[in-house]
Amino acid sequence: MKPRSDLGMKQLFFAFPGNLETPTGGYGYDRRIIAGLRDLGWRVELVPLGEEFPQASEMTLASAEKQLAALPSGALVVIDGLAFGVMAAAAEALGNHLCLVALVHHPLCLENGLTPEKAEAMRESEHKALAFARHVIVTSPATARQVADLFEYPPDRITVVLPGTDHPKAVPGERSNVVRLLAVGTIVPRKGYDLLFQGLSGLPDNNWHLEIVGGLEADPACYRSLLRQIEDLNLAGRITFRGAVSPEDLTSYYSNAEIFVLASRYEGYGMAYTEALAHGLPVIGSGDGAVRDTLPEGASIYCGVENVGALRDALELLITDAAARSQMAAAARIAAAALPGWPDAAAQFSRTLQELAE
């Protein structure tokens, strides 16, 4: 089905769950792509789908479907995968009414903490929903492979649009005798803070402090568990949760840090890693998905998946060896210079939409 010609070549509806201003990598990607498309002449109309996704109630799902059904026939609609994956019934009902494009940050069934039954239900739902998508846009080659393999989606209808990276000017932060570590990510099990704390607990004699920047409200039980773990591991006073912060404040945290570390279990891309590289920070990372591909050699240390021993060794090396930190920091800026900017990402996203509109 082709989009209606009277809508114009540059008309787009962007449907999203929850609050688009939520300070996470996925929502940040959405915001920057929307802004970039508008700069390129697209008329982007926002379609909020409601809260609770992906654990949406029947009432929320029905309301979301009603909003989409009210869009003009043939409209080009991008739906964020956090919602699209659980909207199989709506996708089937509207697949011939709208030109649906799924923006998949990572498969919902791969989120940590799901029971096997829930993960399988998510996989089946996303499989059914994607069958009615005209095209899928993903944020990494790893996610493209997963979408093709998990959901049997045709690879020639998947486009990878890597997140852009800002390239800030080098601003020297304050220095002290304490080696400052920084982690950036919402407090949820997938980000692996429990693994990071275990790794740090083996370094009691090293002079370090960890700042964690990320929303605290997404999983209150996870946050409470981490606070208990800090006490149990005798790390109180050495780890500080800062919650979600403004982009300006986040830049200050990057500038003042000396090492970036994120012990994720899984990432669809890992924008925080590339942001850290752009600020000239040596990076320690872990996890499945796109993490290995995101971390460049020489500027980072990849620690596998849930490998606390490897995390501890990497932390000890960079905390105790200032020369290694300096060498990796220089490599980080070189690697970051080759990363695409947000205008590049928006232009590629635009080309994909233009081809569908034509």
pLDDT at site 315? 97
Q: Which domains are present in the chain?
A: 5-164+340-357 (3.40.50.2000), 179-337 (3.40.50.2000)
CA dist., res. 41 & res. 20, Å (int): 21
pLDDT at site 358? 81
Kindly list the averaged pLDDT for each block of 10 residues, start to end, along the chain of length 358.
Answer: 53 96 90 97 97 92 96 97 96 96 94 88 96 97 95 97 86 76 96 97 89 94 97 96 92 95 92 94 93 93 96 96 96 93 97 93
pLDDT at site 269? 87
Strands 76-80 and 99-104: parallel
Per the CB < 8 A criterion, the answer to whether 217 and 22 are in contact is no
Q: Which long-range contacts (CB under 8 A, 24 or more apart) does 93-96 make?
A: 93/65, 93/69, 94/65, 94/68, 94/69, 94/132, 95/132, 95/133, 96/1
Query: Model pTM?
Result: 0.86
Per the CB < 8 A criterion, the answer to whether 328 and 299 are in contact is yes
pLDDT at site 171? 64
pLDDT at site 7? 44
CA dist., res. 270 & res. 145, Å (int): 16
Per the CB < 8 A criterion, the answer to whether 309 and 317 are in contact is no
Which residues neighbour 93 within 8 Å (Cβ) at sequence distance 6 or greater? 65, 69
pLDDT at site 71? 97
